[in-house]
Amino acid sequence: MIKVVRADITSLAVEAIVNAANETLLGGGGVDGAIHRAAGPELRQACQNIGGCPTGEARITPGFRLPATWVIHTVGPVWQGGDEGEPELLVACYKNSFDLALQNGVSTIAFPSISTGAYGYPIEAATGVAVGVMRSYEDRLKEIICCCFSDDDRKVYELTISATG
Ligand code: AR6
């Protein structure tokens, strides 16, 4: 089941939340900053031990002080107009995050809108990518949550989900 909520992803008591990180995995602004603040310094240490993550790939750590058991860190593409492989890289982010989740027995997972903040990916296009990959994994998980931070984003997700249902 795919569900849309408007929430701070750090408040969600799911098995895994996904982080829209950068290649250093050492934290930053946006959802990344919020997750690191809520999880505590142990998360930064765990990420430091991993040593970074290329764009499109994903890595997993414990959630430490978060209600979520796991954090799956993925690095979305920076929007450069759309002809620099951004859609394929964003697809890879979602797929690699789902694959890591399944490998770790996760059945409830929440995603932020990867790349649509600081990285500038247009929300409609990014939501089309996100929901497309979610549909292809839907049967293998109990609950997939699209965690929106604004009401406008929530509406885009709801429209996209109803159009693909
Ligand atoms: N819960 C849910 N969604 C959130 C939260 C939150 N607490 N905070 C922000 N968002 P962004 P990106 C939404 O910029 O575009 C960081 O500095 C936000 O409104 O967090 O992938 C990293 O370190 C937007 O819809 O991630 C990287 O350097 C979405 O999360 C860079 O930003 C993604 O926005 C990654 O940029």
Whichever domain contains 156, its CATH number is 3.40.220.10
- Range(s) of the domain holding residue 103: 2-164
Whose CA is closest to atom 3 on ligand 1?
149
Separation in Å, CA 21 to CA 2, 50, 155: 23, 13, 24
How far is residue 149 CA from its own chain's centroid? Answer: 12
Task: Please state whether beta strands 70-75 and 58-62 pair in parallel, antiparallel, or not at all (unpaired).
Answer: antiparallel
**Dihedral of the alpha carbons of 78, 82, 84, 90, in degrees to the nearest 10:** 60
Catalytic residues: 32
Q: Is 153 in the pocket of ligand 1 (CB under 6 A)?
A: yes
pLDDT given at position 4: 98
Tell me, in angstroms, the distance from the centre of ligand 1 to residue 116's CA.
7
Whole-number Å distance between alpha carbons of 131 and 160: 7
Q: How far apart are CA 23 and CA 146, in angstroms?
A: 23
What is d(CA 157, CA 34) in angstroms, rounded to the nearest whole number?
Answer: 22
pLDDT value of residue 49: 98
Please give the distance, rounded to the nearest whole angstrom, from the Cα atom of residue 86 to the centre of ligand 1: 17
pLDDT in tens, 19-64: 999 999 999 999 999 999 999 999 999 999 999 999 999 999 999 9
Q: What percent of the chain has pLDDT over 90?
A: 99
- pTM beyond cutoff 0.85: yes
Structure tokens at 74: 């993925």
* Whole-number pLDDT of residue 165: 78
- Determine the Cα–Cα distance for residues 120 and 139; give it in Å rounded to an integer: 30
112-147: pLDDT as tens digits? 999 999 999 999 999 999 999 999 999 999 999 999
Whether residue 126 has its Cβ less than 6 Å from ligand 1: no
Residue 59 forms beta bridges with which residues? 73
